[in-house]
């Protein structure tokens, strides 16, 4: 390697005749490193002085100004008196390579140290303030900034791993990998008991062949793998926790020094930014070394594309850093807003003070939102205990679940021969049809031979203009009413024997209730409570008696905000009789035996029971009762087996009238509905006393993604029968229909198999897709009214760009199906960076792939 | 027959194919290396058809036996067979999970081996291995054997992973999902091959220093670098042991065979002279794909979150690996680091990629990474286990 001593010093050397040659020779790696290392300390000093100067006052301001002047003087002096020296520095390949190595080293520091959240940085001086808290003023309470800083260290609030945990995790895994985890000196109680883990796994391993035969090879391997890894991970987590606690003082000191040296914000540090600035200058001077005309030669195109790309990325990055704003726009469906919030909590307008000056402001309206979850078929094999109760045959944390699509075939329960080899499957489930957004086939069909017929009717809603708006089928057996929200009416079909019974039925006033509260007990049994406002009851649990009170119930809960994980509902804009049950919820007040109180909302949509609650041992599900919940009027359509049809209003037996297909009935009275307009009608389109109740579903026509109709699936299920396999077809639907199928068959070994197939939405997991439909509203200068000017649908991976603002799908709230969190980004650096990205990618391909292919210079030896 | 066209079955078949290919390549390689020895043994008198005796001689380049040459020529075809079966496995998985099979490590790593087999076929012709003649062909066959062994070890470890197929979360539902990961896999596995090539060449250089110390003294860099590299590789499981110290031992054995045959590894001359270019060409094939993978990640993040670079720990790890190769590129291109120094950078580049690809989850910042999609949930089925020791036993 060349040394600096072997070359004339730039100070004494005459101006070189061939600057390019000198540039190559006058910088060694050692000199380059020394200069860059000096600059590494210089850049944070200048940054600190600049920021301090901005906030300092009085004499301090003068001191900082002098300090800043002294710090940048050498740079200016070099630029003024030795510009060629600076130019050579940037043009040196050795400097460039050393700088790249330092960027890599900075990045390595970035991954070796926990990094603060760039959107939620630790407030300035908060760590320093906290570090001196114990000595300086131990009695005063922490400030919110200090609490935030400590939360970043110890993750008290549980928002991800904190510094201490992350570093302990890394230290432990590194030491373990090197076989040095004994160096932490933890007690024996934290040793990983591999023999104990093996012993715990033994019963599972014994049953693995059975599980493999029942659910397949992949399932049994996954179960064994997850169980073993899970146990080892639990043991490791205990060790990591112990390392956190034992070395807490060390971690805290490391945290404080990491804050001081910007090691927890490497990528935003001044020294790291300086490396990028040097990279830009180096690439700039080298790309155009020897004149720009050289770069027009085809042989250099790839080189030029790549290096111009790198420069554009640097420029775009700088532009982003200066101008970028990120935040969130929180909207409910059919609400609009002309302001959004940055992640730091500041409220901004669109094209306000900060961005797009001179442009007219605009607002954003959410016209549609939906989070679509996976639809899965859960396969639950059951066993009957000696006490007669049923339980899962396999005590898994989650019974096997499968995503379904048309044509998929699931094979279970393979026959095992004497040697344990697997044979043919005994249960075969074939997906014959899958409808993502299904609608019940409203056409009534007479029951087939051998099938039990039930009374069913089909109604059509006629609006005030006489148009058929929608149709709906009613089944007497299901007791699900036709709901007309505008008039607050409900219509139910009931089976009666004759007119006399119909008259009597009309005279009965139904018991009013909102729905049913269902509690799952530890013994897999369920307890039910009819919900009415003011209801209170007690629950006996092992730790004592809990008292529960029903505070409120809403058929369509819309979340206004969440305070300390408690839902604050948006106020209702109408009486509840006029609201359809689109997100039914009930509010409970629970008092624990120790007097602790929890107020929670239980949502019918939360079928996975996944919402956070305080008293986890007391979990409730909700089934809303559309018929018995408050209504303005309830109507009964009654049908006898002989075909008699009657209509009347509940509570008014004298309103009973005989009807026939084609008859129309008014829902409510003129002016009594929510909109105060004329009453709407329903028409009895079809009625069958012995209709088939086996539902069939059709794809809902003319709907887009935002329609929330549930998915339905038609399954062909083959099970062993006494005279060979029996195949039956069944429709299942995730909601508003038949969700489960109970099967029984005798397996080849003579055992009775009982299982339940459950088709459900995996609402407790991430959605498969979520989309928001946005409308841009702008003021029309002529009319001074806000009107839509643009519209688009956003989803993850597909944002909407409007006048420099990028809107993209960020989050949703399972408690409020109408809420959508829209990410907002204003970043004029993005086009620069993207262009740079493409140039680098194509430039590299030209240099390394296209050019060698064309010139065929690739033979090795 | 329904189990034949299952992902797992096809992966098992690929594993077997890789193992058979590795054994074939080793046999072929050792055949070439033993050739001078057996050719010497045939030296002596032979009887011609007319009954006269003729003195036989062995040239420096013994005649290539047809069978050995055929075995050697079979190797690229075997790589093609491995590639086709592995590709069929990936296609089958696509239909099993209904998305590009690259979400879990059970899917991503076989995607990488598929790319590795493809890369092997491409490199066979880029490096003109088919034109190698004589004992020198033993090296190219051994190089292929190392790739097959690496693939076999990789597939063995994959088949122990959790095979659960998962649906794609919204953020992964993008056309970049397939191109970004596939480009990375091709880049990663090609650059792993570059590491293997550099390591293999260093092993032979190391041993040649013993066999022919006078004419080919070992440089300090290689003298210390080879044992250190072998030690570094050793902790990385059975694959690290086999391809690190194991390969060093195998090359030592081959050097011993050469010495036993009275040769001073002259066959290695041309490989040694071309070693820098040999490894460079592998880099040339892999690096554009590594770059494409990195850039596509940025383009994808921009579409998903309007954030072209989020300094996520996985992004940064990949960026560090990329910088590693950019530094190699500039040192070799501009500063003139050809030969050993550049090749050592390539050898250690594989380690950087391995950390990004497999050890990333151990880094402190990895727990908050947006790239944890591939991690499987590890919920133990406690209900089917024996109760923990401290829990009361049920009567």
Sign of the torsion formed by the C-alpha atoms of B47, B53, B58 and B59: negative
Which residue among A218, A234, A861 places its CB closest to the CB of B8? A218
Backbone angles phi, psi at A260, to 5 degrees: -65, -40
**Cβ–Cβ < 8 Å for B315, B382:** no
The H or E element that residue A326 is part of is: strand A325-332
* pLDDT (0 to 100) of residue A11: 42
**The predicted structure's pLDDT at residue B270:** 84
Q: What is the mean pLDDT of residues A588-615?
A: 85
Residues 6+ apart with CB under 8 A from A195: none
Give the pLDDT confidence score for residue A132 in this predicted structure.
84
Distance between CA atoms of A282 and A100, rounded to whole angstroms? 11
Ramachandran area for residue A765 (φ above 0: left; ψ -120 to 50: alpha; else beta): beta
Q: What confidence score (pLDDT) does residue B380 get?
A: 65
Mean pLDDT of chain A: 87
A797 closest CB neighbour out of B174, B281, B383: B174
Residue A679 · residue A667 · CB < 8 Å: yes
Torsions phi, psi of A178, nearest 5? -90, 5
- By C-alpha distance, the chain B residue nearest A826 is B306
3-state secondary structure A580-619: CCCECEEEEEEECCCCCEEEEEEECCCCCCCCCCCCCCCC
Return the DSSP state at B333. Answer: I
Q: What is the pLDDT of residues A471-481, one digit of tens each?
A: 888 888 778 89
Of the candidates B232, B234, B230, the residue with the CA atom closest to the CA atom of residue B202: B230
pLDDT at B50 over 60: no
Contact between chains at A861 and B334 (C-beta distance less than 8 A): no
Distance (Å, whole) CA B237 – CA B160: 14
3-state secondary structure A836-850: HHHHHHHHHHHHHHH
Residues 6+ apart with CB under 8 A from A635: A489, A490, A491, A492, A647, A648, A649, A650, A665, A667
Q: What does the pLDDT look like over A7-21, one tens digit per residue?
A: 444 444 444 444 444
Checking if the pLDDT of A419 tops 90, the result is no
State yes or no: pLDDT of A275 exceeds 80. Answer: yes
Distance (Å) from the alpha carbon of B320 to chain A's nearest alpha carbon: 5
Q: Please tell me the predicted confidence (pLDDT) of residue A812.
A: 86
Closest CB from B170, B284, B366 relative to A795: B170
Q: Using the predicted structure, report yes or no on whether residue A851 has a pLDDT greater than 70.
A: yes
With beta carbons under 8 A apart, name residues in chain A contacting B174. 797
Q: Compute the average pLDDT of residues A83-105.
A: 92
Pairing, β A422-435 against β A438-440: unpaired
Instruction: Please give the backbone phi and psi of residue A423, each rounded to the nearest 5 degrees, phi first.
Output: -115, -140
- Please tell me the predicted confidence (pLDDT) of residue A17: 42
Q: Give the integer Cα–Cα distance in Å for A526 and A516.
A: 12
Q: What pLDDT is stored for residue A136 in this prediction?
A: 63
- By Cβ distance, the residue of A203, A411, A859 closest to B128 is A859
Residues 6+ apart with CB under 8 A from A436: A699, A711
Summarize the confidence of residues A281-290 as an average pLDDT. Answer: 88
Residues in A touching B285 (Cβ below 8 Å): 848
Q: Which of A308, A823, A268 is nearest to B310 (CA)?
A: A268
User: CB neighbours (10 Å) of residue A505?
Assistant: 18
A 751-790 residues inside an 8 A Cβ radius of B: 766-770
Query: pLDDT, tens digit, for every residue of B144-181?
Result: 999 999 999 999 999 998 898 888 888 889 999 999 99
- Quick: pLDDT tens for A518-575: 886 655 567 788 888 788 999 888 888 999 999 988 888 887 766 656 777 888 888 8
Average pLDDT over residues A83-111: 92
Do the beta carbons of residue A592 and residue A544 sit within 8 Å? yes
Instruction: Kindly determine whether residue A230 and residue B378, on different chains, have CB atoms separated by under 8 Å.
Output: yes
- Answer positive or negative: Cα dihedral of B227, B231, B234, B236: negative
CB atoms within 10 A of CB A584: 24
CB contact under 8 A, A231 and B316: no
For A105-120, give the DSSP string. Answer: HHHHHHHHS----TTS
Q: Is A199 on the interface with B (CB under 8 A)?
A: yes
Of B160, B90, B158, B97, the C-alpha closest to B118 is: B90
User: Is residue B290 over pLDDT 80?
Assistant: yes
Average confidence (pLDDT) over A152-179: 86
The CA–CA distances, whole Å, from A797 to A118, B121, B173, B300 equal 21, 35, 7, 7
With CA atoms as reference, the chain A residue closest to B276 would be A860
Give CA–CA dist A110/B366, Å, rounded: 11
Bigger pLDDT: A489 vs A817: A489
pLDDT tens per residue across span A331-384: 999 999 999 999 888 898 887 656 666 678 899 999 999 999 999 999 999 988
Residue of B130, B135, B131, B134 whose CA lies nearest to B33: B135
Chain B residue with the nearest C-alpha to that of A119: B310
Size of interface A-B (CB pairs under 8 A): 240
pLDDT at A192: 86
H or E element that contains A801: strand A800-802
Residues 6+ apart with CB under 8 A from A804: A355, A356, A826, A828
Q: Which of A98, A111, A191, A422 to probe by mutation at the B interface, max B CB count within 10 Å?
A: A111
CB A573 within 8 A of CB A616: no
Tell me the average pLDDT across A194-199: 90
Per-residue model confidence (pLDDT) at position B394: 41
Tell me the whole-structure pTM to 2 decimals: 0.81
Residue A19 φ then ψ, to 5°: -60, -30
Average pLDDT over residues A736-746: 90
Angle (CA) A34-A37-A38 rounded to 5° is: 85
Integer Cα distance of A736 and A708 in angstroms: 11
Tell me the pLDDT of chain B averaged across its residues. 86
More confident residue, A30 or A189: A30
Neighbours of B229 (CB within 10 A): 24
- B386 to chain A: which residues are within 8 Å by CB? 199-203
Cα-flanking dihedrals φ and ψ of residue A525, to 5°? -85, 170
Burial of A187 from C-beta contacts in 10 A (0-12 / 13-18 / 19+): exposed
The nearest CA of chain B is from the CA of A560 a distance in Å of 25
Q: Which of A487, B187, A545 is nearest to B195 (CA)?
A: B187
Banded model confidence at residue A741, pLDDT cuts 50, 70, 90 = very high
Per residue in B219-265, pLDDT tens? Answer: 888 999 999 999 999 888 888 999 999 999 999 999 998 888 777 88
At A446 the pLDDT is 86
Backbone dihedral angles phi then psi of residue A71, each to the nearest 5 degrees: -70, -40
Q: Which of B6, B165, B160, B152 is nearest to B100 (CA)?
A: B165
**Which pLDDT score is estimated for A832?**
96
Asked if A538 and A546 count as a contact pair (C-beta separation under 8 A), the reply is yes
Region of A420 on the Ramachandran plot (φ > 0 left; ψ -120 to 50 alpha; else beta)? left
pLDDT at A154 over 60: yes
List pLDDT tens digits, range A720-734.
988 889 999 999 999
3-state secondary structure at position A219: helix
**Tokens standing for residue A486:** 């505008």
Contacts of B366 in chain A (CB under 8 A): 111
Inter-CA distances, B390 with A189, A198, A205, B393, Å: 12, 16, 21, 9
- How far is Cα A629 from Cα B168, in angstroms, rounded to an integer? 39
C-alpha dihedral over A501, A503, A506, A511, to 10 degrees?
A: -40
Give the pLDDT confidence of B109-121 residue by residue, as tens digits: 999 999 999 999 9
Q: How far apart are CA B361 and CA A173, in angstroms?
A: 10
| Cβ-based neighbours of A791, under 8 Å, separated by 6 or more | A367, A773, A774, A775, A776
What pLDDT shows up at residue B371?
67
Q: Does any CB of chain B come closer than 8 Å to the CB of residue A837?
A: yes
Looking at mean pLDDT, say which of A607-611, B34-38, B339-343, B384-388 comes out highest: B339-343
Task: Note the pLDDT tens digit of each residue in A116-128.
Answer: 988 888 988 889 8
> For residue A134, what pLDDT band results from cuts at 50, 70 and 90?
low
Tens of pLDDT, residues B115-141: 999 999 999 999 989 888 888 889 999
Report whether pLDDT(A6) > 50: no
Residues 315 through 354 of chain A touching chain B, CB cutoff 8 Å: 316-317, 326
CA–CA separation, A448 and A446 (whole Å): 6
Q: CA-based Rg of chain A, rounded to a whole angstrom?
A: 36
Residue in B168, B274, B387 closest to A860 by CB: B274
Measured between beta carbons, which residues in chain B are less than 8 angstroms from residue A844? 287-288, 291-292
Position B302 scores a pLDDT of 93
- Interface check for A406 against chain B (CB to CB < 8 A): the answer is no
């Amino acid at each position: 390697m060349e040394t600096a001593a072997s070359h004339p010093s730039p100070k004494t050397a005459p101006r070189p005749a061939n600057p390019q040659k000198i540039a190559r020779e006058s910088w060694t790696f050692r000199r380059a490193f020394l200069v860059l290392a000096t600059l590494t300390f210089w850049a944070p000093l200048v940054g600190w002085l600049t920021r301090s100067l901005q906030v300092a006052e009085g004499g301090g301001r003068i001191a900082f100004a002098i300090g800043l002047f002294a710090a940048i003087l050498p740079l200016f002096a070099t630029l003024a008196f030795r510009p060629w020296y600076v130019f050579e520095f940037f043009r040196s390949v050795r400097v460039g390579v050393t700088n790249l190595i330092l960027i890599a080293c900075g990045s390595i520091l970035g991954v070796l140290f926990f990094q603060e959240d760039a959107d939620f940085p630790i407030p300035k001086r908060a760590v320093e303030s906290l570090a001196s808290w114990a000595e300086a003023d131990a009695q005063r309470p922490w400030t919110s900034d200090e609490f935030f800083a400590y939360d970043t260290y110890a993750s008290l609030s549980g928002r991800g791993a904190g510094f201490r945990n992350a570093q302990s995790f890394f230290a432990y895994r590194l030491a373990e990998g090197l076989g040095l985890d004994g160096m932490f000196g933890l007690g024996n109680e934290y040793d990983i008991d591999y023999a104990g883990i093996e012993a715990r796994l033994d019963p599972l391993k014994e049953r693995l062949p059975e599980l493999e035969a029942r659910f397949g090879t992949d399932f049994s391997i996954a179960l064994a793998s997850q169980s073993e890894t899970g146990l080892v991970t639990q043991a490791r987590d205990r060790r990591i926790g112990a390392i956190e606690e034992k070395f807490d003082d060390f971690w805290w000191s490391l945290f404080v020094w990491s804050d001081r040296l910007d090691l927890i914000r490497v990528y935003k540090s001044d020294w790291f930014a300086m490396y990028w600035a040097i990279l830009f200058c180096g690439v700039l001077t080298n790309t155009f070394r020897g004149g720009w005309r050289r770069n027009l030669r085809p042989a250099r195109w790839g080189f030029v594309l790549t290096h111009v790309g790198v420069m554009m990325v640097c420029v775009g990055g700088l532009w982003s850093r200066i101008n970028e704003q990120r935040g969130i726009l929180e909207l409910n469906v059919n609400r609009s807003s002309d302001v959004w919030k940055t992640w730091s909590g500041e409220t901004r307008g669109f094209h306000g003070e900060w961005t797009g000056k001179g442009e007219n402001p605009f607002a954003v309206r959410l016209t549609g939102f939906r989070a679509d979850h996976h639809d899965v078929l859960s396969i639950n094999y059951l066993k009957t205990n000696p006490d007669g109760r049923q339980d899962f045959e396999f005590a898994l944390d989650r019974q096997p679940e499968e995503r379904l699509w048309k044509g998929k075939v699931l094979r279970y329960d393979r026959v095992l021969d004497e040697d344990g080899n697997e044979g043919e499957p005994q249960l075969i489930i074939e997906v014959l049809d899958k409808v993502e957004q299904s609608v019940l086939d409203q056409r009534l069909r007479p029951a087939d031979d051998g099938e039990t017929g039930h009374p069913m009717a089909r109604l059509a809603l006629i609006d005030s203009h006489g148009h058929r708006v929608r149709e709906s089928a009613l089944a007497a057996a299901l007791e699900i009413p036709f709901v007309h929200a505008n008039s607050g009416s409900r219509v139910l079909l009931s089976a009666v024997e004759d007119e006399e019974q119909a008259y009597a039925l009309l005279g009965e006033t139904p018991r009013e209730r909102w729905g049913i509260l269902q509690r799952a007990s530890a013994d897999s049994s369920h307890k039910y409570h009819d919900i009415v406002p003011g209801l209170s009851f007690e629950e006996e649990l092992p730790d004592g008696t809990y008292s529960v009170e029903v505070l409120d119930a809403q058929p369509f809960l819309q979340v206004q905000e969440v305070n300390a994980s408690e839902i604050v509902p948006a106020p209702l804009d109408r009486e509840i009789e006029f609201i359809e049950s689109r997100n039914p919820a009930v509010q409970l007040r629970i008092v624990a035996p120790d007097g602790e109180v929890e107020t929670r909302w239980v949502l019918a949509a939360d079928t996975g029971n996944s919402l956070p609650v305080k008293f986890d041992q007391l979990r409730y599900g909700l089934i809303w009762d559309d018929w018995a919940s408050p209504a303005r009027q309830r109507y009964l359509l009654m049908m006898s087996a002989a075909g008699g049809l009657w209509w009347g209003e509940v509570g008014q037996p004298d309103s009973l009238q005989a009807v026939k297909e084609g008859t129309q009935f008014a829902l409510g009275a003129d002016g009594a509905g929510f909109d105060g307009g004329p009453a709407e009608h329903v028409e009895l389109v079809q009625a069958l006393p012995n209709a088939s109740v086996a539902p069939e579903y059709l794809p809902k026509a003319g709907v887009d993604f935002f329609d929330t109709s549930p998915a339905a699936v038609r399954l062909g299920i083959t099970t062993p029968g006494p005279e060979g396999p029996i195949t039956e077809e069944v429709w299942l639907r995730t909601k508003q229909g038949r969700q489960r199928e109970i099967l029984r068959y005798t397996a080849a070994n003579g055992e009775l198999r009982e299982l339940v197939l459950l088709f459900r939405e995996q609402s407790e997991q991430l959605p498969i897709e979520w989309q928001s439909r946005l409308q841009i509203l702008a003021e029309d200068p002529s009319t001074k009214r806000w009107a839509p000017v643009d519209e688009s649908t956003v989803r993850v991976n597909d944002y909407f760009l409007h006048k420099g603002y990028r809107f993209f799908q960020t989050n949703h709230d399972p408690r409020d199906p109408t809420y959508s969190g829209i990410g907002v980004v204003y970043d004029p650096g993005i086009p620069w960076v993207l262009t740079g990205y493409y140039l680098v990618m194509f430039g590299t391909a030209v240099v390394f792939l296209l050019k060698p292919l064309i010139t065929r210079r690739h033979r090795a030896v | 027959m329904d189990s034949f066209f299952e992902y797992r079955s096809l992966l098992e078949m690929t594993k077997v194919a890789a193992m058979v290919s590795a054994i074939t390549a080793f046999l072929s390689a050792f055949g070439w290396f033993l050739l001078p020895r057996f050719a010497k043994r045939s030296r002596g008198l032979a009887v011609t058809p007319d009954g006269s005796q003729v003195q036989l001689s062995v040239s420096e380049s013994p005649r290539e036996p047809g069978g050995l040459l055929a075995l050697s020529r079979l190797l690229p075809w075997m790589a093609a067979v491995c590639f086709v079966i592995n590709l069929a496995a990936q296609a089958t998985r696509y239909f099993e999970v209904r998305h590009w099979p690259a979400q879990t490590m059970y899917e991503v790593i076989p995607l990488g081996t598929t790319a590795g087999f493809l890369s092997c076929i491409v490199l066979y012709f880029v490096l003109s291995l088919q034109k190698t003649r004589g004992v020198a062909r033993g090296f190219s066959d051994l190089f292929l054997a190392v790739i097959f062994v690496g693939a076999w070890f990789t597939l063995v470890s994959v088949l122990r992973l959790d095979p659960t197929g998962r649906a794609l979360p919204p953020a992964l539902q993008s056309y970049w999902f397939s191109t970004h990961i596939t480009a990375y896999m091709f880049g990663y596995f090609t650059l792993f091959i570059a590491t293997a090539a550099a390591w293999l060449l260093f092993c032979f250089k190391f041993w040649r220093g013993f066999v022919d110390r006078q004419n080919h003294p070992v440089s300090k860099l290689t003298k210390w670098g080879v044992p250190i590299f072998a030690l570094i590789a050793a902790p990385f499981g059975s694959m690290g042991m086999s391809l690190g110290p194991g390969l060093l031992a195998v090359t030592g054995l081959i050097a011993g065979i050469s010495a036993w045959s009275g040769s001073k590894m002259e066959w290695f001359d041309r490989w040694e002279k071309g070693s820098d270019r040999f490894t460079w060409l592998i880099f040339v094939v892999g690096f554009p794909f590594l770059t494409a993978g990195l850039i596509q990640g940025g383009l994808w993040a921009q579409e998903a979150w309007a954030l072209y670079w989020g300094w996520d720990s996985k992004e940064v790890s990949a960026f560090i690996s990329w910088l590693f190769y950019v530094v190699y590129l500039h040192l070799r291109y501009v500063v003139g680091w050809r030969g050993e120094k550049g090749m050592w950078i390539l050898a250690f580049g594989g380690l950087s990629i391995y950390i990004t690809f497999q050890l990333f989850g151990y880094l402190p910042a990895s727990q908050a990474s947006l790239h944890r999609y591939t991690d499987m949930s590890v919920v133990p089925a406690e209900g089917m286990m024996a109760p923990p020791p401290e829990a009361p036993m049920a009567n």
